[in-house]
Structure 1
Amino acid sequence: MTTSTTAQSSAPAPLVDLQVLVVAVRRRRRLWSAAALLGLLIGAAAAVLLPQPPTAVTKLLVAHQADQPNDPGTLIRTDAALLHTTRIAGTALRSLRSPEKPEDFMQDYEGLGLTNNLLQITVTGDSDAAAVARAKALADAFVADHVRRIQQAADAEAKSLLDQRDRMRHELAQVNKSIGEAPPDSGPKTSANMESLFARRAELTSRITDFGERAAEARIGTPQLIAGTQIVDAPRAVRHSLPRTAVTNATIGLVLGLVLGLVVAAVGAVVADRPVLRREIASNLGVSVIAELPRRSPRLWRRRRDRAARERLTTSLARTVRGSAEPVSLLELGCARSTGVIALDLARALAKEGPVVVVDGLPGPQLSKLRRKPEDPTVVTGERAAAVSPQEHQERRLGVGSVAPGTAWTDLRYLGTRTVLVVRAGHGSAAWLHTVARQLTDQSIPVIGVVLIDPDPRDRTDGTLWDGLGTALRGRNELQARPKGTGRHRTERLPMRAARVPDSDQEAR
């Protein structure tokens, strides 16, 4: 399967690549695992260091005059809000003979409407007995206040009805007086006035009777509401289980820490923009991935697999170096120790055919820290590399350097005129990979390929770049035949150099 480079560069890149995001978050599993573990520990420690205070709970049945089957719970929420008033809190404190301020006491309890007529009161205290006493006083204060409000409402309604009845009785007395003072003459006009007075007296009598009945009914419903408001669940102390609380808090902390860690890892991956997949690394460097080396596993049963992968990598690189007539270097990015180990293994493989000198250009004593055998090839520093003359001593030179930030780019040609990049997946940003590709091109250092260290084990992308003719760009060209009778390599055609990578999507288009 071949693809066109032009078609790939002109395709619009998504704003956020979900595959890359998932891989980047998975590679940062230490971050979100540590966040989840920290949340679990904080939750468990909070349960031990901050135990819940002694708590008492009670339930009240509250009857309302305006109860309706389709009530959405407005009345019981009003009762819960009325519970948090200084009047009820002050009444409860007076019954307890406590000098505490009502405003402070209101912070120690809460009301919750379970149903339209069931109110639950939760109170905390210094001890279980104190919490139960406070819950009892608070429930009694609420019931008394609720009953008083019902009675006041009923009395106000009855008084209003009785006042209207009294006004009508006064008006009826005036009508009766007018009827009694009417002249005995029975003229047409007098008869009409008497009929209107008698009609008015009948109407007033009917309304007076109606208002009296309504005032009586207003008082009749009050005892039912008063009897319906009562304590249905006596105050009792709530038992707290420390192990159960610790498990609950730890679970909550674990979930919150995991979510927070995943969010931080995702945001960090998007902001950092560090390529992880083979496809991205090859595209940013403009060079194909020719080999990869998995991360060294601490598990014993995987060490044989890691050793076999390292041997295959050494064999492949040795074949590449043997076929080159120019010095080859290994340039690392984010994996100095692994590059040093690869360089020593490669030098040992090449030493079977002739003397090899390893030029150490790594920052710091990376190669000197590695365990070396007496028969290992000679390792010289970059300052002593000029004293080594491969033409006179027939020694093969293998340079080891770095392309990390702060690299002296003009010194890389002294390590080797051809190079193999050893890059750790997810270490360098896309912008820095572009910089590496441009600098190597400016220094006329052809890149043979990329050795990917610690790749994602679930990465199924292709790290090979293809030109328009369907040829894989691996930096390998055909070698000219060696002349017979000579032990030296003839010059070969330079391989294709690292392609210049555009700085933006607009330049790519």
Structure 2
Amino acid sequence: MTTPATPDAPASAPLLDLHSLVVSVRRRRRLWSALALLGLLAGAAVAVLLPPPPTAVTKVLVAHQQDQPNDPGTLIRTDAALLHTTRIAGAALKAMGSPERPEDFMEDYEGLGLTNNLLQITVTGDSDAEAVARAGALADAFVADHVRRIREAADAEAKTLLEQQARMREELDRVNEAIGDGPPQGGPQDSATMESLFARRAELTSRVTDFGQRAAEARVGTPRLVAGTQIVDAPRVVRHSLTGAAATNAAIGLVLGLVLGLAVAAVTSVVADRPVLRRDIAAHLGASVIAELPRRTVAPWRRRRTRAARTRLTTSLTRTVRGSAEPVSLLELGCARAAGDLALDLARALAAEEAVVVVDGLPGALLAGRRPRPGDPAVVDGGRAAEAPPGERALGVGSVRPGTPWTDLRYLGTRTVLVVRAGHGSAAWLHTVARQLAEQRVAVIGVVLIDPDPRDRTDGTLWHGLRTGPHTDPHTGLHGRDERPARNNGGGTSHAVRAVGDGPRRTERRPMPAARVPDSDQEAR
């Protein structure tokens, strides 16, 4: 059987809600901002505390016998690789008279091919003078090795050609001896033999001449290649700017820290599964968001607005408590101090017309242990709630955090307002709270959301699916019996307080679905 989809209750939820993910990451801005700042400071500290060693650079023009206009840089990369050999490193150290091992010296320099024939050599040292001396010795050793290899290659080629020419000369001498002083007197067979000998002599003479020319040409190009391989940029010290290096490293550290912080915030948001949108919190608790209050106000221009919102919420809750024949309580999740302050404000407002006692069920007796101010109502510990005078109205304040004794919540009040901090409880725990309150027959009037996301435009009002069952107040719906819809002009709840019973009410009847399968344990009850 397929559950019919309604506008407020979609048939299926997405596997990953990007809206909730973005809001969760934004709420963790302290984490990724701290990591970004840490990366910024670490980058700048690295540039200051670990400055680069003295460095010298030189450039060598390298001529190759196999140079081609379309060479992709294979020859110059070969030269850069040859630069990192113990033979060249050892020759440079020998020229400087240094006892350092060639393997250790190879770690202090590098070669980079700038073009097909231009090699840049970068060398570090303990001082500027040592770096320059090392760069010069290394460049000279490379040029000498390159010239030596060119000459050895030319000499080897010329030697091979001359050896071939010598063998051709020996064969030519043998042919000349066979021919003799003149043509022999004989038959046609002897004439054919002489003709072949003359042809062979002519061929050998041509090849001897060719090998001689090639041997000469093999050495002709060597001086040009030797002259073309030279140091074109004398070794010089590379100047490092501490300010530029610090700025570059700081920027790199800032980017890396920011990326790492965003990644950690995103992963922890997905793994923790802590609802932050009023839509999700209302859906998991099975009660509408009836009011919102910021957790703290730092900006001076927002304090007045926060005090006004808190006053409106207190006035609204005062009317709700006065109109309720059953005791009312405030149960907090992640905001014990805010719930305690709200309970005291509510008790002060009620004390103007009737006697009120606040039953403190918060962890650590937060209200009972504080010093009372003049005009504050009486506060008793939750364990002594039965000692309260019979004629006074009891206003309970407790907690639904993990480890809560659920059986004591009913003694604080059979009707309650949940004061929940956004993003504090996981989705599983919000379901647990809703189920436990239903089992204890504690009716939820609504949810007061503390520290909401300022850019949240979702609707925290549950319009469909009234809760019915043996453990539910028949006069309390999912959207709250005494509340107004928490919406603004943008389709979501505004950032000011939407308090219960504040202002004229507007009753709107909406058609209920004919049949609906419960999608949670609370609705099933």
Per the normalisation by structure 1, the TM-score is 0.89
Decide which of 443, 447, 451 is 2:448's aligned counterpart: 451
> 1:201 is aligned with what amino acid?
R
Decide which of 474, 478, 490 is 1:473's aligned counterpart: 478
Distance apart, 1:183 and its partner CA: 7.3
Conserved in 1, the CA contact under 8 Å of 2:183 and 2:194? no
- Map of 1:398 onto structure 2: 395
Distance apart, 1:192 and its partner CA: 2.6
Give secondary structure in 2 for the equivalent of 1:366.
coil
Q: 1:35 to 1:93 in 2, by over 3 A?
A: same
Q: 1:11 to 1:180 in 2, by over 3 A?
A: farther
Distance apart, 1:10 and its partner CA: 5.7
Conserved in 2, the CA contact under 8 Å of 1:420 and 1:448? yes
Conserved in 2, the CA contact under 8 Å of 1:5 and 1:467? no
Q: 1:117 to 1:370 in 2, by over 3 A?
A: farther
Conserved in 2, the CA contact under 8 Å of 1:360 and 1:379? yes
What is the CA–CA distance in structure 2 between the aligned matches of 1:95 and 1:336, rounded to whole Å? Answer: 78
Partner deviation per Cα, 1:408-446 (whole Å, 9 max, x = no partner)? 111110111111111111111111111111111221212
Partner deviation per Cα, 1:149-190 (whole Å, 9 max, x = no partner)? 111111122222222222222222222233338972443332
Conserved in 1, the CA contact under 8 Å of 2:297 and 2:306? yes
- Map of 1:385 onto structure 2: 385
Q: 1:80 to 1:403 in 2, by over 3 A?
A: same
Q: Is 2:167 aligned against 1:149? A: no
Q: Is 2:11 aligned against 1:11? A: yes
- Map of 1:207 onto structure 2: 207
Q: 1:304 to 1:200 in 2, by over 3 A?
A: same
Distance apart, 1:96 and its partner CA: 0.7
- Map of 1:421 onto structure 2: 418
Identity %: 77
Q: How does 1:298-317 map to 2 (within 5 A)?
A: 298-317=298-317
Q: 1:12 to 1:205 in 2, by over 3 A?
A: farther
Give secondary structure in 1 for the equivalent of 2:112.
strand
> 2:480 is aligned with what amino acid?
G
Q: 1:368 to 1:124 in 2, by over 3 A?
A: farther
What is the CA–CA distance in structure 1 between the aligned matches of 2:96 and 2:25, rounded to whole Å? Answer: 58
> 1:51 is aligned with what amino acid?
P
> 1:476 is aligned with what amino acid?
R
> 1:445 is aligned with what amino acid?
V
Distance apart, 1:198 and its partner CA: 2.3
More displaced stretch, 6-15 vs 168-177: 6-15
Q: 1:109 to 1:402 in 2, by over 3 A?
A: same
Q: 1:213 to 1:84 in 2, by over 3 A?
A: same
Deviation beyond 6 Å, 4+ runs, structure 1: none
Per the normalisation by structure 2, the TM-score is 0.86
Give secondary structure in 1 for the equivalent of 2:453.
coil
Q: 1:149 to 1:370 in 2, by over 3 A?
A: farther
Conserved in 2, the CA contact under 8 Å of 1:286 and 1:501? no
- Map of 2:504 onto structure 1: none
- Map of 2:520 onto structure 1: 502
Give secondary structure in 1 for the equivalent of 2:326.
coil
Conserved in 2, the CA contact under 8 Å of 1:286 and 1:500? no
Conserved in 2, the CA contact under 8 Å of 1:57 and 1:237? yes
- Unaligned regions of 5+ residues in structure 2, if any? 467-475, 484-516
What is the CA–CA distance in structure 1 between the aligned matches of 2:45 and 2:203, rounded to whole Å? Answer: 79
Q: Is 2:326 aligned against 1:326? A: yes
Q: How does 1:75-474 map to 2 (within 5 A)?
A: 75-180=75-180, 184-368=184-368, 372-389=372-389, 392-393=390-391, 395-467=392-464, 473-474=478-479
Conserved in 1, the CA contact under 8 Å of 2:172 and 2:201? yes
Partner deviation per Cα, 1:59-117 (whole Å, 9 max, x = no partner)? 11111112222222221111111111111111111111111111111111111111111
Partner deviation per Cα, 1:395-415 (whole Å, 9 max, x = no partner)? 222111111111011111011
What is the CA–CA distance in structure 2 between the aligned matches of 1:226 and 1:202, rounded to whole Å? Answer: 38
Distance apart, 1:468 and its partner CA: 5.9
- Unaligned regions of 5+ residues in structure 1, if any? 479-498
More displaced stretch, 454-463 vs 372-381: 372-381
Give secondary structure in 2 for the equivalent of 1:324.
coil
More displaced stretch, 287-296 vs 183-192: 183-192
Conserved in 1, the CA contact under 8 Å of 2:418 and 2:446? yes
Q: 1:340 to 1:170 in 2, by over 3 A?
A: same
CA RMSD of aligned residues (A): 2.5
Distance apart, 1:243 and its partner CA: 2.0
Q: 1:72 to 1:402 in 2, by over 3 A?
A: same
Give secondary structure in 2 for the equivalent of 1:384.
helix
What is the CA–CA distance in structure 1 between the aligned matches of 2:302 and 2:287, rounded to whole Å? Answer: 30
What is the CA–CA distance in structure 1 between the aligned matches of 2:164 and 2:369, rounded to whole Å? Answer: 106
> 2:141 is aligned with what amino acid?
A
More displaced stretch, 454-463 vs 195-204: 195-204
Q: 1:155 to 1:49 in 2, by over 3 A?
A: same
